[in-house]
Amino acid sequence: MNTKVKGFFYGIITSVTFGLIPLFTLPLMQKGMQSDSILFYRFVAATLALGTMMLIKKESFRIGVRDLPILIILSLFYTGSSLFLLYGYEVMGAGVATTLHFTYPVFVTLLMLFLFQEKTSWVTWTAVAFAVGGVAKLSLQGTQLRIEPIHVIIVLLSAVGYASYIVAVNKSHIREMHSRKLAFYVFVFTALMFGIKTGASQNLQPIPDAWAVVNILLLAVAPTVISNITLLLAVRYIGGTTTSVLGALEPVTAVCIGALIFGEEFTWSEAIGIALILIAVTIVILNRNIQNNLSLLIKRIRPRHA
């Protein structure tokens, strides 16, 4: 399996597993748990799970002093993204919140362009356009937003945080660190931040029952440990922009879960949105083939009109 195929595989796994967040989060909210408590338990459990995995594999936990600043910055981005997204689940449907969060590919592309002058091919921009169109169809009903503008802005902040996380990983020396070690320390600092936040406000809630424990553990493993490790691998193999566009499968997963499990309405508009997103993912995967075939076609046409 070559690096491109690996990157696409890891990117798809990342988006599908990340889209499972509402499946494990909404039952906790229905039991009265608040965002801060859920996130604290999520990242503590993720840290313990990943640390245990590293111990079993006898992997080193050692990091350099120069790694600390970027790890703390990454944790800040990840903390903000997680907090604002979970807030979105409290004020709007799970499918719509995750869909709005998905706009992070646009922010990744813009950050790479303005901060690092990294040019993006017209094929990728076409994929982004299809993805944004899909987001619009999933989030809009006619010409009216179904949710309050301030809520949209708050969830978009989760997209900015996640985009910043991807770009920071992609453009810093930290990308060379083993993916499990990198994810472990991001989880450690993120858990500490939520621990400080809940401790300062004294609103850490106890876990209500055994099923809540199961949901927290599944939340920690699937859309946290697995999605983060595969995200880091995808960024390493295919870059931040392409990885972010593959994230289009996140809202598809979330909308399907919202409709099938939580009884949220599924409309033709949402079906069209999902179709546009799948087209965007296909374009990204076939990016190189599309460019090569069009170049070959242009070369064949030009002599006839010379």
Tokens of 251: 């809202």
Q: How many domains does the chain have?
A: 1
In the block, tokens 């295919």 appear at 238
Tokens of 259: 């409709």
- How many separate helices (H) and strands (E) can be counted in the chain? 15, 2
pLDDT single digits (tens) 117-146: 877 777 777 887 887 777 667 655 554 445
Instruction: For 144, list phi and psi in degrees, rounded to 5.
Output: -110, 135
Cα–Cα distance for residue pair 130/114, rounded to 1 Å: 22
pTM of the predicted model over 0.85: no
- Output the CA–CA distances (angstroms, integers) from residue 191 to 45, 183, 210, 278, in the order listed: 9, 12, 22, 34
Cα–Cα distance for residue pair 74/62, rounded to 1 Å: 18
Q: Which residues contact 183 (CB under 8 A, 6 or more apart)?
A: 50, 225, 228, 229, 232
Tokens of 43: 């990242």
Average pLDDT over residues 244-252: 77
Cα–Cα distance for residue pair 39/43, rounded to 1 Å: 6
Tell me which residue range forms the domain holding 37.
3-305
pLDDT at residue 298 above 70?
no
Mean pLDDT score of the chain: 84
SS3 290: helix
Residue 144: the pLDDT is 47
